[in-house]
Amino acid sequence: MAKLVRRAMRSKKLTCVSIAFFLLLCQFVQLEAQLQVGFYTSSCPLAEFIVKYEVSKGFFSDRGVAAGLVRMHFHDCFVRGCDASVLIDSTSSSTAEKDSTANNPSLRGFEVIDNAKARLETLCQGKVSCADIIAFAARDSIEITGGLGYDVPAGRKDGKVSLSSEASANLPAPTFNVNQLTQAFANKGLTQEEMVTLSGAHTIGRSHCTSFTTRLYNFNATTNQDPSLDPLYASQLRQQCPKGSTIPNLVVPMNPGSSATMDSGYYMDVLANRGLFTSDQTLLTNQDTADQVNQNAMNVFLWRRKLAAAMVKMGQIGVKKDDTGEIRSNCRKIN
């Protein structure tokens, strides 16, 4: 009798295991099939073209918009997945991601997304998600600044929640060291090498002084200036970002030698102790990340390919395809 019960239990366990395996397989297949290159080919054939047009229009009136849009995709994907939660406006009862200190006042490019969305709603109402518009716009921004273009798998839906607290909890800070950075990217399924590759996007754009002035004026109890920062660069930065300045939104270019081009200038800067943030300079403190900085500095073609691949992978974080998402008609508001 006991033997029989045991056998029955064993076979039940086996069935459970095989069901679990089957479910896992289904999930895997589903994950693989989640996004699709050319997703709008029949539902809105001009979608990608219109986004590209709006990105170039924005870029030619303000080149900094390109860096803004790459950063927007990153800040979207790291918080609740790539679901355009970063675009939702705060309401009287809820402070949204875009108003967290990580995003406000530094995040920009919103008008490019709004313009593209408005045209797409006129042309093919309710078809193109805001999350996909951000993903396309980030790709176009990389391309327009001399990076490598790549196919963007699409079909994301837009999320219905945006919380400021989640932005600060998920976005890596400019003060992070290499271990904290690695962990923040690992939390999103990205490798340390992809973290180094994506950091290279700091080769374009600008930064608010507040993101690094600690390195210039009050590093620690024994030294005001971060010893890992080139002293000449530090003195230039002190002129651009005076201590205790009350000028709002004071900014400096990242990679000042070529701050509008997707070149390997960022990695050259880091090698010369001219990485602007702690989170840039820290890449030299670990053997593996330092090796990659070297490689990328020496081979810009390799880096551009790696960047394209890492952007595609980042663009798949936490994607929604079902009823947990929707196609917003206005990117700033839940339907």
Ligand X SMILES: *[C@@H]1O[C@H](CO)[C@@H](O)[C@H](O)[C@H]1NC(C)=O
Residue positions forming the annotated binding site: 76, 79, 81, 83, 85, 97, 172, 202-203, 263
Q: Is the peptide bond before 172 cis (omega within 30 degrees of 0)?
A: no
Work out whether 122 is an interface residue with ligand X (CB under 6 A): no
**Shortest distance in whole angstroms from residue 195 CB to ligand X:** 22
The interaxial angle of helices 300-314 and 130-144, nearest 10 deg, is 180
Q: Which two tokens stand for residue 269?
A: 């800067």
Asked whether position 227 contacts ligand X by CB under 6 A, the answer is: yes
257 lies in the site for ligand X, by CB under 6 A: no
User: Which helix (H) or strand (E) segment is 114 a member of?
Assistant: helix 110-123
Nearest to 168 by CA among 104, 118, 113: 104
Binding-site residue positions for heme b:
202
**CA proximity to 260, closest of 330, 205, 297, 185:** 205
122 or 222: CB nearest ligand X: 222
Stretch that binds ligand X, among 67-75, 103-111, 219-227, 303-311 (CB under 6 A): 219-227
Residues annotated as binding site for Ca(2+)? 76, 79, 81, 83, 85, 97, 203, 263
222 scored as a contact of ligand X (CB under 6 A): yes
Residues 6+ apart with CB under 8 A from 11: none
Which residue ranges are tagged as binding site for substrate?
A: 172
Classify the phi-psi angles of 81: left when phi > 0, otherwise alpha if psi is within -120 to 50, otherwise beta: left
**Least Å from the CB of residue 221 to ligand X:** 4
| Residue of 52, 75, 157, 206 with catalytic role | 75
Question: CB-wise, 162 or 281, nearer to ligand X?
Answer: 281
Q: Could you tell me the smallest distance in angstroms from the CB atom of residue 40 to ligand X?
A: 51
Report 24-83 residues binding ligand X (CB under 6 A): none
Q: Is 220 in the site for ligand X (CB under 6 A)?
A: yes
Q: Specify whether the CB–CB gap between 75 and 67 falls below 8 A.
A: no
**Residue 231 binds to ligand X (criterion: CB under 6 A):** no
Q: Which of 92, 93, 223, 287 binds ligand X (CB under 6 A)?
A: 223
Could you tell me the smallest distance in angstroms from the CB atom of residue 111 to ligand X? 42
Q: Is 208 annotated in the active site? A: no
Taking the complex as a whole, the smallest distance from the CB of residue 245 to ligand X amounts, in Å, to: 24
Q: How far apart are CA 53 and CA 137, in angstroms?
A: 10
DSSP annotation string for 32-94: HTS-BTTTTTTT-TTHHHHHHHHHHHHHHH-TTHHHHHHHHHHHHHTTTSSSSGGGPPPBTTB
Residue 221 lies near ligand X (rule: CB under 6 A): yes
- DSSP designation for 173: P
Residues that bind ligand X (CB under 6 A): 220-223, 227
Q: Which are the catalytic amino acids?
A: 75
